[in-house]
Amino acid sequence: MKTILTGAAFFLLIITSYCQTIEQQFQKTIDSIYNANPDVIGYIVAIEAPDRNISWTGAIGYSSKDSLHKLDPYQPVLIASNIKTYVAATILRLVEEQKIDIQQPIKELLTQKTRKLFESDGYVLDSIKVVHLLSHKSGIGNYGNDEYYKFVSENPEHRWTRNEQLERTITVSDPLCKSGMSYHYSDVNYLLLTEIIERLTDQPFYAAMRELLMYKEFGLDDTWLVTLEDKPSSCKPLAHQYFSSASWDSYKIDPSWDLYGGGGIACTMEDMAKFISNLHNQKIVKDPAVLDLIFTRIETMDSTGNNYCLGIQEYTVEGTKGFGHGGAWGTFNIYFPELNTTIALCPLEAEKRNLNGDVIAEIINLLTSKE
């Protein structure tokens, strides 16, 4: 018995030592990249690798340009377009509950007001399917042009509504092509999806997402739709996020410019990594056939966007295939099936998002060198 216990203790010591060592290497990686790029202001990385017993979050730098407060790794941030994976997962949960089919035309799923609005601009809603919205292959234009961002910069306190953004879409853009013909990334696709979620659940889309994606069950206590839901009382202050070339500070712009499905979630990188890991490990969408729909591809005639699936995009890093999504504030998440590993990243300076690729490559090399 003593021999068995001694052997078990030794094994536990080895495992613990391994985890500590690789976590120190993770921190060393982001420290090194930050020290070479201090204008990133602050940087947060979270890693979930359940097969390796790794659940780690680290940070380096400061929580704002004007502060000497060290950035806390558990400070939440705005994740912007990373929400699209959450919206897609919500739709798949509704597929799982047999309330919707991704091949279903969107005409009868929209409100009468939205239906009339888009039909008035020549959209044939019987030919646009849910899958086209999820994959940005609907042919629908976008409200987010240069004039929009100029207005946001000049009117940072303006409170946008979803209807206002949909109406602006019709004003500034005509249909781009027939559905399924080409890829045109547009937040409007996801604004329409959140409207569809509301019609199918009789709840605000953010409440339906919270319930269907099981935030409470999985301890995602620091995830919420900023300004639409109350900030969790136990949550740390949001870190500042910047677009320096536009003189944007996330604290000084009403988040409604990117709130209704194209963006909107605030959360910690730990929460985002856990959500993505749980999603791909069938803990949220439990039917494997339904979860596999997230990898659906619509091949376009011009081959653009063919690596974009349903709320996720395919990438290859260091020869390893991954699926993830980025956000306008520089946030990024990626899941590597071969390693069953999720990485979530946030540089506080959005224009330093290129560092994400360097960090991910270093982490992949660290993980594969331990195999």
Residue 59 sits in a domain whose CATH number is 3.40.710.10
- Helices of type H across the chain: 2-36, 83-96, 112-119, 130-134, 146-154, 162-172, 187-201, 205-212, 269-280, 288-291, 355-369
Q: Is residue 5 included in any domain, yes or no?
A: no
Burial class of residue 24, CB neighbours in 10 A (0-12, 13-18, 19+): exposed
Q: 3 lies in a domain?
A: no
Q: Return the pLDDT at 43.
A: 98
Measured CA to CA in angstroms, residue 222 lies from 226, 229, 273 at distances of 11, 12, 12
- Is position 8 within any domain? no
pLDDT value of position 370: 64
User: What is the distance between the alpha carbons of residues 48 and 51, in angstroms, rounded to a whole number?
Assistant: 9
Residue 14 lies in a domain: no
Query: Residue 371 has what pLDDT?
Result: 61
Q: Which pLDDT score, from 0 to 100, does residue 301 have?
A: 86
Whether the Cβ atoms of residue 77 and residue 344 lie closer than 8 Å to each other: no
Q: Does residue 27 contact residue 45 with C-beta atoms inside 8 Å?
A: no
334 within 8 A of 322, measured Cβ to Cβ: yes
Q: Cα separation of 10 and 287, whole Å?
A: 39
Residue 59 to residue 25: CA distance in whole angstroms: 13
> CA 144, 272, 98: angle at the middle one, nearest 5?
80
Integer Cα distance of 291 and 92 in angstroms: 7
Provide the whole-model pTM: 0.94
| Residue 220 near residue 121, CB atoms below 8 Å | no
Closest C-alpha to 307, from 284, 323, 288:
323
In the numeric block, the tokens 């993980």 are attached to 367
CA distance 142 to 163: 13
Is residue 167 in some structural domain? yes
- Chunked into runs of 10 residues, the chain (371 residues) has average pLDDT values of 46 47 95 96 98 97 92 98 98 98 98 98 97 98 96 98 98 96 97 98 98 98 98 96 96 98 98 98 98 96 90 96 98 98 98 97 92 61
Q: Does some domain include residue 72?
A: yes
Tokens of 192: 């329409």
With contact defined as beta carbons under 8 Å apart, do 64 and 96 qualify? no
Burial environment of residue 103 by CB neighbours within 10 A (0 to 12, 13 to 18, 19 or more):
exposed
Residue-level pLDDT at 10: 43
Task: Say if residues 329 and 80 touch (Cβ distance below 8 Å).
Answer: yes
Query: At which residue do the structure tokens 């910069």 appear?
Result: 153
Q: What's the rounded Cα separation, in Å, for the pair 297 and 371?
A: 32
When divided into structural domains, the chain yields a total of 1
Q: DSSP code of 349?
A: B
Instruction: Determine the length of the chain.
Output: 371
Asked if 235 contacts 76 with a C-beta cutoff of 8 angstroms, the reply is: yes
d(CA 220, CA 214) in angstroms, rounded, equals: 8
**CB neighbours of 249 closer than 8 A, spacing ≥ 6?**
65, 240, 241, 242
Domain that holds residue 306: 22-369
Tell me if 222 sits within 8 A of 72, measured CB to CB.
no
Q: HSE on the CB side for 241, CA within 13 Å?
A: 27
Within-domain flag for 318: yes
| pLDDT value at residue 1 | 42
Q: Is residue 2 part of a domain?
A: no
For residue 207 the two structure tokens come to 């409440």
- Please tell me the predicted confidence (pLDDT) of residue 16: 46
Task: Specify the pLDDT at position 17.
Answer: 44
Residue 203 DSSP one-character state:
S
Q: Identify the pLDDT of residue 67.
A: 79
pLDDT value, residue 304: 84
